[in-house]
Each structure stands twice: as C-alpha cells, then as structure tokens.
Chains A and B, each alone.
Chain A
Amino acid sequence: MELAIRTEHLTKIYSQRLIAVNDMNLEVPQGAVFGLLGPNGAGKTTTLRLLLGLQRPSAGQAEVFGKSCGPGAVGVRSQIGYLPTNPKLPGNLRPIEYLDLVGKLSRLPRQVRKPRISALLRAVGLLGATEQQIQTFSTGMCTRLGIAAALVGDPPLLLWDEPTAGLDPSARRFTLDLIRELGKTKTVVVATHILSDIDQICDHIGVMHEGRMIFAGSMQDMKRYLRKDDFTLELEGEDGDIQRLAQEAAKLDGLDARIGAGDTLVVGIADGRSRSGALAEVLKLVDAGNVSLQAIHSGHNATENAYLQLLQEDEAHGFGR
C-alpha cells in the first residue's frame, strides 16, 4: 500500500506548556478519503499545519509522498491543496486576481493558469461573482473560493480543515459532493468534528483525542467498535408491560435485553447469533405483548456511537493511555 501521509511519533508541544499532538503515528493510503475526526482542541488543525510545514514538530517526523515536511519543504507543499477553516482571503482582490496570485505562487505558467482559473470558478459556482471584491463575499462564497484556491495547483493531496464550517445546507451539500468527486482521483484529508460529514464521504478515518490518535483505520473497522448488533426499540405502553417484555426477551437464547431511557428496550445480540432471527423473535414478543412499537433504531451504522465509545474508552484507560 502506497502512502500519501506517514507520521512517526509526531509530537507538538507549544511553549513547553500545551501538548497539541502527542506521539502520533498515522498512515493515510494514497487515494483514500480520510476523515480526521476529533473534538475541538484535539489537535487536528495542528496536525495539518505540521504536514504543511507551517509549524515544526517538537519530536517525530511527518512525510508526504515520502518527502519530509518542514518550513523549507516547498516540494511537499506543491503536492498539497490546503483549505483552512473559514479562509482569510485578501479582501481587496477579486476572485480572478486572487486565484491568479495563488497560481503564480504555485509556479503555473500563464497558459495553464488562466484556463484552470476559469474552469475552477465555474466548478465552484462563482462565475457570477467575479466582479465583486472578496470582502463582500459571504462565508459560503469564501469557502468556495478557498476550495478553488486549493485546487489551482491540481495537487494530488488535499488537506481541508473544517470545510463545512459555517455553511448553509446547500453549500454544505455542494462541498460534500465535491469532496466525494475529488476523492475519485485524489487523496483527501478532511479534518472535522461533524460526524455526519465523515459518515457520508470518508472511507478511512482517524480519531484524535487530546492530541493522540486513538483510532485509525477503515470506516468498517471503525463501526466494528460499536457495541455490536444492538437494537433499540421505542415502545408505547405501561411500564409493567415493557418490563415484562424485557424479561421475556432476556430469556431468549443469545439475547440481552434491558430497559433504556424513555420507554425504550435495548436489545444486545451475542456474537454468532443471527441479527434478523433475533429481531424477528423480539418483534414476535412485542406483537404478543400489550405494547405498541413506535420505532426501531439499529446501532450498526451509527458512527457517532462508535466515536463516542472510542472517546469514552480512551478516557477510561487512564494511565494506560
């Protein structure tokens, strides 16, 4: 497997006080859409800035396409299209002027730069705003322009930091669709704390917590972290009837049932037990009992549960972390 990004014991400590990235080992395969997930302050942005060479690691090293990252690694940055959170763009310029500047910074000759700028402005839907100064742009328009700027050099690796932050639903949809499309030809790393974004677009995921990478792997691996094969049944009925139902369900082979919050029955299915079979048996009990079924929730695809479980496990490990 060829790697787009590799870090080894990457550590960043600010002013000997704050550990932003803590002994991080990360491997991002080429062609992956990698979601860097973590709560605010987990160290996602610092990791991206270390890869870009905007910051120096306190220890360890980072490589992009086999080249070492650092302030002098111009060759590495030419392979990266970076989109910062809420990009700060020069307000006195117009979109074409700004993209032309970025194209020149990427050393693109005019013959390549000009057509690419036109194509990108069309692709991000800013053709109608080319007369406006950037300072008049909304957050969504700035993000679109930032996306175009990240793509001007046609880099094979995209590092996008919170690309959907502050966007309205349509702009968010546009950005996610674009990432999905770009993921077909490029390696994309999306740092975010919005789980639904990751769920929709990523095939690989890394979960950061307090500067550490507590999980890295495919989405399938991530979902396996979830307490397996749980169902939650939302019920309506008397408390006693629901209690009785839980007791009967718990007697079934390979099932564990308990009452959850707000008239819900949480059913756990043991390894090796058929999910559909188990569900069918529980539903029969519901049907036979004096309760009515309002909804069934399956924990199987809930990335959020897996994510929260990872964070809880990391907290629970205490010194063992």
Chain B
Amino acid sequence: MDSADKISKLGTRMMPFLAILQQDLGTLWASRLVRLWLAATGLLTFLLVAANWTQFQDAPLIASILFPYLVFPWFLVVVVLGVSPVSGSRAEALADGILSRPVGRCEYLLATWSARVLVVLSVYLVVVVPAILVVTLAKRPVREDLVTVYGIVSALFVVGLVLTFLVSLGFLVGALLRKPLLAVVVLIFVWYPISLILSIFSLEQFSPVSLSRAVSTQLRQSWRQSEDEAKAAGTMQDMEQFSEQFGNLLSRLSGAPAKPKASKGDFFETKKFEDFSLFRVTLGYGLPSLAAVTLATLCFYWRDL
C-alpha cells in the first residue's frame, strides 16, 4: 500500500472527528458566551496593562495579565464551556443528530473536547500574546526587566495547561452529573478552595495562586539556566518529588499517615519560587487532564442517551 492510500484511508477514518470538530468550533465561535468572553478578556487585559504601565516591571505586569486566567474570574467561563457538550438538553439533540450516525462516542467526545480546548486557548492567546508583545517591546518608564522568550513561552504553556485541565474537569463533571447548572456549581465549589484542598495533600505548588506567584520568576528564567538546573538537579529529582507528592496524596486519601518530611522545600520558605519545575507542573496538570478526559469518555460510553 503506498503512502497516498494510507493518507486517504486515514482521512476517511478521521472524517467524522474532523466534521464534529469543525461544526463545534463554528458553533462555539458563534456563541454569545465566547464572544462576550473575548471582549471582556480583551478589555480586562487592556485595563490591567494601562493601569500598571508605569508601575510594574515586565515580569510582574505579564504575571498580572495571566492572573485572571489562572485564578479568577475566567475559570468560570472555561468550566461552563467544558460542561456543556454532554449534559442537559444537548445530550438528546446530539443523540438524534450525531450519535445515531456511524460515529463512536469516544470520537465525539474527543472532537468536542478538542474544540473547547482550541477555543479556550485561542481566546487566551489572541488576547494575551499581543499584550505581552506590547509590554516587552514598548519603552516604558520602569526599570528594565530580564524577561526571556523561554520564560514567556513556558509561562504561557503553564497557564494554557491549567485552562486545558479546567476544560477537562468541566467535561468530566458534566458527563457525571448530566445537569449543566449543577455541574457548574459543583465545579465552583471545588475550584474556589482548590489551594486549600491542595495544601491538605501537600500539593501547594500546583495551586493556581502559587503558580500565579511563580510566573514572575519563571518569566525571567532562560532556557540555558533552566537546562543547567535540570542537569544539576536532574529530572530524576523532579520525578522523585512528584512520586513523593503522589504517594502523599494517596496516603491522605486512604487515611494512612503521610511520610514525615525531613524539611520543608525552598519553594514555600523563600517565596522566590526558584525551584519552580515546569516538568512537575506539566505532569501535575497534564496527567489529571488526561485522566479526566478518559473518565468522562468511560462515563459517557456507559450512559444511556
């Protein structure tokens, strides 16, 4: 079989996924929620930049732009977007219109999840990237800052990852609870005190507030510096810490006493956030996102429509 045939077969196989993705993207862009969000986030970003133009250095100003996405208020919009595709009246319509056709439920869920993630990340990047460019390139009456391209990209990545996690969480809760309003209320009650919840499980560094505070430091990190540190500390250390935290979480959940820590990490003692680990954050948000999508798919697969 030549490559053209393979591509053609792949295209045919992917056709329903792409069709649903395209249809959902169109519907989302046409929705009032997304348009209002785009306008509101643009306005808020402008106000934040304008208000702090002469006061903040580059890093804190960019961190303040990213704050609404990490902490408040945009998580509300993101979870609402995540909740909707498989809950409420939409479930019946999609059963009649889409799932009665030769389309797998997994295919449908992945396509709608991808559409939501794409829309959320697009709105976020469309507003934030130009604002960051303006902040970093413009001559402002503040002391020069050492913001790096690597720092900006990694900070954008971290916020994007948190937003993706929120969409996935919304997806899961929407699939579990079926009623969109109830799902949103549950998510608000879960996400608001998330820092407190994470601190109970000794996972403070993953809380949105901590990430938001760490962004300023991360923005000044260079690729080389990061690489050197990685070499020095080793990814193994990250893995060890991650597995330690994961073990801690499991022991808390199971009710067993957690292992006593020899000392508290620098992260919270110095408040410099220099041991911020992109790798750990990626695992910390990436794995739960995957788990949420997988669980939502399983839950939706077993559900009657």
Q: Which residues of B contact A55 (CB under 8 A)?
A: 304-305
Cβ-Cβ contact count across A and B, 8 Å cutoff: 72
Q: Is B76 an interface residue (CB 8 A)?
A: no
| CB pair A56 B304 closer than 8 Å | yes
The secondary structure that dominates the B interface is: helix
| CB pair A49 B97 closer than 8 Å | no
- Interface size class on chain B is 20 to 34
Asked if A54 meets B100 with Cβ closer than 8 Å, knowing A92-B27, A101-B23, A104-B19, the reply is yes
- Interface size class on chain A is 20 to 34
B5 to chain A, nearest CB (A): 13
Residue from B12, B18, B23, B96 in contact with A109 in the complex, judged by beta carbons closer than 8 Å: B12
Q: Is B93 an interface residue (CB 8 A)?
A: yes
| CB pair B18 A74 closer than 8 Å | no
Q: Quick one: CB contact mask for A12-41 with B, threshold 8 Å, 1 for yes?
A: 001000000000000000000000000000
Q: How many angstroms from the CA of A82 to the CA of B92 in the assembled complex? A: 14
| CB pair B100 A52 closer than 8 Å | yes
List B residues 82-109 near A (Cβ within 8 Å).
Answer: 92-93, 95-105
Q: Quick one: CB contact mask for B6-42 with A, threshold 8 Å, 1 for yes?
A: 0000001101101110010011001000000000000
B19, B97, B105, B301 interface centre (most CB from chain A within 10 Å) = B97
| CB pair A77 B301 closer than 8 Å | no
Residue of B nearest to A155 (CB): B102
Q: How many angstroms from the CA of A102 to the CA of B16 in the assembled complex? A: 9
| CB pair B19 A105 closer than 8 Å | yes
Q: Is A139 an interface residue (CB 8 A)?
A: no
Q: Which residues of B contact A107 (CB under 8 A)?
A: 12-13, 15-16, 102
Residue from B13, B16, B301 in contact with A105 in the complex, judged by beta carbons closer than 8 Å: B16
Q: Which residues of B contact A78 (CB under 8 A)?
A: 102
| CB pair A77 B101 closer than 8 Å | yes
Q: Is A106 an interface residue (CB 8 A)?
A: yes
| CB pair A54 B304 closer than 8 Å | yes
| CB pair A74 B103 closer than 8 Å | yes
Q: Which residues of B contact A80 (CB under 8 A)?
A: 100
Q: Quick one: CB contact mask for A53-97 with B, threshold 8 Å, 1 for yes?
A: 011100000000000000110110110101010011110100000
A85 to chain B, nearest CB (A): 9
B130 to chain A, nearest CB (A): 29
| CB pair A75 B102 closer than 8 Å | yes
Q: Which residues of A contact B98 (CB under 8 A)?
A: 105
Q: What are 22 A-B contacts with C-beta separation under 8 Å?
A: A49-B95, A54-B99, A54-B100, A55-B305, A56-B302, A71-B105, A74-B102, A75-B102, A77-B101, A82-B96, A82-B100, A84-B100, A88-B96, A89-B97, A104-B19, A105-B15, A105-B16, A105-B19, A105-B102, A106-B102, A107-B13, A107-B16
Apart from the given pairs A71-B105, A77-B102, A78-B102, 15 other A-B contacts in the complex at a CB distance below 8 Å: A54-B95, A55-B304, A55-B305, A72-B104, A72-B105, A72-B301, A80-B100, A84-B96, A88-B96, A90-B97, A101-B19, A105-B20, A105-B101, A106-B101, A107-B13
Binding site for B on A (CB under 8 A): 14, 49, 52, 54-56, 71-72, 74-75, 77-78, 80, 82, 84, 87-90, 92, 101-102, 104-107, 109, 153
